[in-house]
């Protein structure tokens, strides 16, 4: 058996071990529930060796869909006191106890990949999922758009919890009345690798606000201090719209509305281009202020089918200079922190999305280089949650579902 085989076996075993019956947890202990975009990536990983299980992962995720089309960022299938904030803090009323916010909508893209592995047998599964995925897309178009760009209403929605993108907006928030609470994340992993208390107070404050407003989107739009148009949400939504368009056409549906949405989202992308920074950036919708951040999400342009020579030049530079790219924050930025979560570390999941986009857009060389570097990182440092981009050191949780899935579906192939 070659070592590549061993790694593939290990990756499969991680998905199997993290399976809780119809859904996978990101990692035991730290994240004991079903997370939305982790789950979509898990489905892509499962599709490499158990396509039936891949469909089930997506189907379970959509069982948590709210009546208005929203698909929550966490589904609390079984209560676990090891996680905070749990279902009692969110107080949501969906079909499955859940959080009240979303995550990057990559499920439609991952579902299309699963379908590609299972075109004939999967036709009926896809036909059932399609209207649900479309309803979620419509929900985002209704509640999250600003000038065509997709906004986040909580740092957790973007999946990039403590990215410097939110610093200015968070600094303006008052969380002095958040009250007492006990964090659970720092009981599982090194607190140096996790968001600070300053950030955590504001995460909880925003959950309290949503709860008080009964997760009513119109009320939250009017009252929430946190509304930031961001590259993660915008690029993944645009990509999902393209995939829904393709799947809809294949299923013989009328896709004219999605085609119009794609145009709106494309226009929105241009509102995230920060000329002075020379990169795709986040902008605070209330203040109009730029965040001034080039993150790994800035490189998701190709994933969304958006070409950009300046971003390509930046990417080439990062591939050259950083031993284990793509760092989640510009290494030259003052806010760069090689270990702290989304303020510097490299995340295999984002690398995969960037790499798939590069390949689609004909940047074969860069796509291959990134896949190879990600494969080396995992081979040398394991299936960690995220990694120090300079030393490659593993950080956060171990035996991580999406890192294993990335190995199976992308980095560890060929």
Contacting positions for ligand GLC (CB under 6 A): 26, 31, 35, 37-38, 159, 161
- Smallest separation, CB 193 to ligand GLC (Å): 11
Q: Of the residues 161, 199, 230, 366, which is catalytic?
A: 161
- The answer to whether 385 is a known catalytic residue is yes
Q: Which is nearer to ligand GLC, 161 or 330 (CB)?
A: 161
- Smallest separation, CB 347 to ligand GLC (Å): 8
Are 238 and 266 contacting, i.e. CB atoms less than 8 angstroms apart? yes
- Smallest separation, CB 159 to ligand GLC (Å): 3
- Smallest separation, CB 34 to ligand GLC (Å): 10
How far is Cα 299 from Cα 183, in angstroms, rounded to an integer? Answer: 32
Q: Which is nearer to ligand GLC, 159 or 210 (CB)?
A: 159
Q: Name the phi and psi angles at 179, rounded to 5.
A: 85, -175
E-strand stretches of 22-69: 34-35
Other CB atoms within 10 Å distance of the CB of residue 221: 16
Q: Which is nearer to ligand GLC, 103 or 169 (CB)?
A: 103
Tokens 């291959």 belong to residue: 368
How far is Cα 112 from Cα 215, in angstroms, rounded to an integer? Answer: 30
Q: Which is nearer to ligand GLC, 245 or 343 (CB)?
A: 343
Q: Which is nearer to ligand GLC, 37 or 226 (CB)?
A: 37
How far is Cα 117 from Cα 111, in angstroms, rounded to an integer? Answer: 10
- Rounded to 5 degrees, what angle do the CA atoms 108, 113, 116 make? 125
- Smallest separation, CB 194 to ligand GLC (Å): 10
Distance of CA 119 to the CA centre of its chain: 26
How far is Cα 15 from Cα 151, in angstroms, rounded to an integer? Answer: 31
Q: Of the residues 199, 230, 337, 385, which is catalytic?
A: 385
Using a 10 angstrom Cβ sphere, with 0-12 exposed, 13-18 middle and 19 or more buried, the burial of residue 360 is: middle
- Smallest separation, CB 5 to ligand GLC (Å): 27
DSSP code of residue 157: G
Distance of CA 109 to the CA centre of its chain: 12
How far is Cα 239 from Cα 265, in angstroms, rounded to an integer? Answer: 10
Q: Which residue is nearest to ligand GLC (CB)?
A: 159
Q: Which residues are catalytic?
A: 161, 385
């Amino acid at each position: 058996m070659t070592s590549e085989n061993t790694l593939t076996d290990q990756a499969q075993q991680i998905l199997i071990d993290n399976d809780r019956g119809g859904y996978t947890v990101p990692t035991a202990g730290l994240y004991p529930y079903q997370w939305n975009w982790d789950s979509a990536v898990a489905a892509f990983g499962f599709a490499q060796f158990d396509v039936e299980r891949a469909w089930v992962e997506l189907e379970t995720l959509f069982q948590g869909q709210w009546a208005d089309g929203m698909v929550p960022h966490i589904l609390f299938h079984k209560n676990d006191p090891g996680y905070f904030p749990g279902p009692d803090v969110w107080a949501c009323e969906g079909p499955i106890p859940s959080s009240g916010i979303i995550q990057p909508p990559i499920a439609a893209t991952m579902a299309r990949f699963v379908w590609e592995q299972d075109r004939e047998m999967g036709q009926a599964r896809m036909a059932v999922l399609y209207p649900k995925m479309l309803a979620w897309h419509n929900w985002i178009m209704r509640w999250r758009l600003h000038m065509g760009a997709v906004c986040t209403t909580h740092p957790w929605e973007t999946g990039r919890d403590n990215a410097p993108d939110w610093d200015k907006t968070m600094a303006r928030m008052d969380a002095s009345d958040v009250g007492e609470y006990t964090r659970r994340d720092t009981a599982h992993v090194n607190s140096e690798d996790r968001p600070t208390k300053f950030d955590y107070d504001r995460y909880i404050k925003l959950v309290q606000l949503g709860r008080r407003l009964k997760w009513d989107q119109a009320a939250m739009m009017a009252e929430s201090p946190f509304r930031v148009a961001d590259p993660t949400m915008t690029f993944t939504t645009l990509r999902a719209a393209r995939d829904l368009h393709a799947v809809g056409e294949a299923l013989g549906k009328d896709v004219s509305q999605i085609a119009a949405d794609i145009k709106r989202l494309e226009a929105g992308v241009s509102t995230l281009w920060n000329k002075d920074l020379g990169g795709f950036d986040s902008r605070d919708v209330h203040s109009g202020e730029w965040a001034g951040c080039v993150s790994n999400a800035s490189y998701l342009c190709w994933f969304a089918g958006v070409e950009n020579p300046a971003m390509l030049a930046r990417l080439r530079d990062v591939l050259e200079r950083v031993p284990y790219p793509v760092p989640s924050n510009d290494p030259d930025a003052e806010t760069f922190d090689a270990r702290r979560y989304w303020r510097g570390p490299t995340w295999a999941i984002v690398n995969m999305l960037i790499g798939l986009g590069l390949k689609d857009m004909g940047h074969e060389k860069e796509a291959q280089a990134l896949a190879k570097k990600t494969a080396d990182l995992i081979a040398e440092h394991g299936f960690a949650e995220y990694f120090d981009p300079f030393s490659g050191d593993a950080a956060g949780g171990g035996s991580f579902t999406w890192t294993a899935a990335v190995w199976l579906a992308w980095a560890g192939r060929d």
